[in-house]
């Protein structure tokens, strides 16, 4: 499947660090792919902030560097940085609005805070500010229209994909003594945070994961309810829905244990499922 495609530096970066979104890019119009790669490479840069710094202050400085880089792009003076330069081309080629990029950077400040979301609703606010906003920008690259239905589809697909991402990242975050599990759910099911941080699964954790999975299924269903009114050009970024189905299936097969190794990466069949969904103009 398009295995001989020549990748930009950002394309190679996304292929190595965000393979799922990389796969969806292959189904975007050719003239949009480098812009999508630049967008997703930028997202990786800000998303990994908490991982690459030793203290919150350093993380804030790193995020401020990206704010100033975005400012430079819109001022016409982009910094000499491979991702910044590629993103500058994408922003100007597709007339992307600045506010969404600022919002993506701002929401990453939460990653530097030790506090956990208090409720499922507050978790969804974080996910919408990150995953949904990113998906909105991506659809803005692939589609010239931005109807209310498209906005709703991207919002809910972003929520579904983002919640799934947090489920899959539970082992990684636990290893860092961090949890994005809403406190109300942790209290409801009696989650032992000490055991979680020792990378131990539990019945309580599986129950919480099941609740999160049910919620993401709700958003996935809402995103798909707009299917018939969305032009095909807008659908390639939404193909993450196809991958969501595959990860959900594996999660269910493993009794909603987020520590299952099967959640780390999908097999070769994912590409064929994406091809079939793209052929049928589904997501």
Task: Give the model confidence (pLDDT) of 34-49 as tens digits.
Answer: 999 999 999 999 999 9
Q: Residue 37 belongs to what domain range?
A: 9-113
Within this chain, do residues 209 and 150 fall inside the same structural domain, yes or no?
yes
pLDDT at residue 264 is higher than 90: no
Within this chain, do residues 259 and 125 fall inside the same structural domain, yes or no?
yes
Within this chain, do residues 144 and 273 fall inside the same structural domain, yes or no?
yes
Q: Domain for residue 4, yes or no?
A: no
pLDDT at residue 5 is higher than 80: no
Of 113, 136, 157, at which residue does a domain stop?
A: 113
| Predicted confidence (pLDDT) per residue in 150-190, tens digit | 999 999 999 999 999 999 999 999 999 999 999 999 999 99
pLDDT at residue 149 is higher than 90: yes
| Predicted confidence (pLDDT) per residue in 92-111, tens digit | 999 999 999 999 999 999 99
CA distance linking residue 275 with residue 283, whole number of Å: 10
Of 57, 81, 113, at which residue does a domain stop?
A: 113
Of 89, 113, 137, at which residue does a domain stop?
A: 113
Within this chain, do residues 106 and 239 fall inside the same structural domain, yes or no?
no
> Span 221-233, mean pLDDT?
95
DSSP 108: G
Within this chain, do residues 84 and 189 fall inside the same structural domain, yes or no?
no
Within this chain, do residues 70 and 190 fall inside the same structural domain, yes or no?
no
Within this chain, do residues 50 and 174 fall inside the same structural domain, yes or no?
no
Q: What pLDDT does residue 251 have?
A: 97
Mean pLDDT score across all residues of the chain: 95
Within this chain, do residues 120 and 66 fall inside the same structural domain, yes or no?
no
Q: What pLDDT does residue 146 have?
A: 83
Within this chain, do residues 209 and 142 fall inside the same structural domain, yes or no?
yes
Cβ neighbours of 182 (radius 10 Å): 21
Say whether 118 sits in a helix, a strand or coil: coil
Q: How many domains does the chain have?
A: 2
User: Is residue 2 very low, low, confident or very high in pLDDT (cuts 50, 70, 90)?
Assistant: low
| Predicted confidence (pLDDT) per residue in 12-71, tens digit | 999 999 999 999 999 999 999 999 999 999 999 999 999 999 999 999 999 999 999 999
> Span 241-256, mean pLDDT?
97
Within this chain, do residues 165 and 51 fall inside the same structural domain, yes or no?
no
CA distance linking residue 69 with residue 45, whole number of Å: 12
CA distance linking residue 126 with residue 58, whole number of Å: 21
Among the residues of the chain, which ranges form H helices?
A: 9-17, 19-25, 30-47, 49-52, 56-75, 82-94, 98-107, 120-127, 133-142, 148-168, 170-175, 183-189, 193-197, 203-224, 240-253, 269-279
Count the residues in the chain.
283
């Amino acid at each position: 499947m398009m295995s001989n495609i020549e990748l930009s530096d950002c394309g190679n970066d996304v292929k190595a660090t965000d393979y799922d979104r990389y796969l969806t890019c292959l189904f975007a119009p050719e003239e949009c792919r480098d812009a999508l790669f630049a967008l997703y490479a930028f997202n990786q840069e800000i998303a990994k902030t908490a991982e690459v710094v030793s203290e919150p202050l350093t993380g804030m400085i790193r995020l401020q560097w990206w704010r100033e880089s975005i400012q430079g792009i819109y001022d016409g003076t982009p910094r000499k940085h491979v991702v910044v330069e590629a993103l500058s081309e994408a922003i100007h080629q597709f007339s992307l609005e600045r506010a969404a990029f600022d919002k993506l950077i701002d929401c990453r400040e939460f990653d530097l805070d030790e506090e956990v979301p208090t409720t499922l609703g507050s978790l969804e606010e974080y996910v919408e500010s990150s995953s949904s906003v990113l998906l909105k920008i991506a659809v803005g690259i692939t589609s010239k229209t931005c109807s209310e239905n498209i906005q709703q589809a991207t919002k809910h697909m972003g929520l579904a994909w983002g919640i799934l991402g947090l489920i899959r990242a539970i082992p990684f975050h636990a290893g860092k003594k961090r949890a994005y599990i809403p406190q109300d759910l942790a209290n409801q099911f009696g989650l032992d945070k000490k055991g979680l941080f020792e990378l131990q699964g539990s019945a309580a954790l599986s129950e919480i994961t099941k609740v999160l999975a049910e919620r993401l299924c709700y958003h996935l269903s809402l995103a798909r309810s707009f299917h018939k009114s969305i032009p095909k050009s807008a659908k390639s970024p939404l193909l993450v829905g196809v991958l969501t189905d595959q990860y959900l299936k594996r999660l269910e097969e493993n009794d909603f244990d987020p520590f299952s190794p099967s959640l780390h990466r999908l097999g070769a069949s994912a590409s064929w499922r994406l091809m079939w969904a793209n052929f049928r103009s589904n997501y």
